[in-house]
Chains A and B, each alone.
Chain A
Amino acid sequence: NAGVTQTPKFQVLKTGQSMTLQCAQDMNHNSMYWYRQDPGMGLRLIYYSASEGTTDKGEVPNGYNVSRLNKREFSLRLESAAPSQTSVYFCASSGTTLGEQFFGPGTRLTVL
């Protein structure tokens, strides 16, 4: 099992460009999450999806949109990238009643 995979690993954008971060899990988990990690701020939840077909905002959703394409895949879209969105983005999934979350390797995004 690959667990949680993310693409791309690295990305550089110019202000105003758009892009989609991809995430997939092969653990048959119902819930999936997008976090961002910033120095001095720790990890913060952007959006989550409790099940296929549902999405909800987390702590810092502004500037982002998400799509739960199917049970395996959960994508994060930046419509008009801003320098403040320079961060490391992590996707996670959980599938048990215990709530244990499993994380992907991350996408390092720089917005110039």
Chain B
Amino acid sequence: KQEVTQIPAALSVPEGENLVLNCSFTDSAIYNLQWFRQDPGKGLTSLLLIQSSQREQTSGRLNASLDKSSGRSTLYIAASQPGDSATYLCAVEDYGGSQGNLIFGKGTKLSVKP
């Protein structure tokens, strides 16, 4: 059964720092991997989607990489800002589950201090 793990569970950094969030998954047979942001009491906002054939995707200050063979993805945030404070969730869609069934990690809660 696919399992997704995110480390660390929480991270606090000063404004301006570059940072990396980690995501690992146990079964490399995936369709894609998606990174989300969740603000307290809100829904999920899609940040980046990486297809299984891709190595990375970029959007603004965000860069996500995927190493399917090792079961790892990273989300790199450049020049962090207080507005980046949120919980970041990683999810994979794999071949073993229901169509479109995203398997989520428990998230990394990021706090960027001014």
Contacts and interface: CB of A to CB of B under 8 A. Distances in A.
B100 interface: yes
A99 interface: yes
Contact of B102 (A50, A101, A105): A101
A105 B38 CA distance: 10
**A-B complex: 5 closest residue pairs judged by Cβ atoms:** A103-B44, A105-B43, A43-B104, A42-B104, A100-B49
B18 interface: no
Contacts of A53: none
Interface of B: 31-32, 34, 36, 42-46, 49, 51, 89, 91, 93, 97-102, 104-107
16 contacts: A31-B99, A35-B102, A42-B104, A42-B106, A43-B89, A43-B104, A45-B101, A48-B100, A58-B98, A90-B43, A99-B49, A100-B34, A101-B34, A102-B46, A103-B46, A104-B43
Contacts of B44: 90, 92, 103
B46 A50 contact: no
Contacts of B102: 35, 43, 45, 101
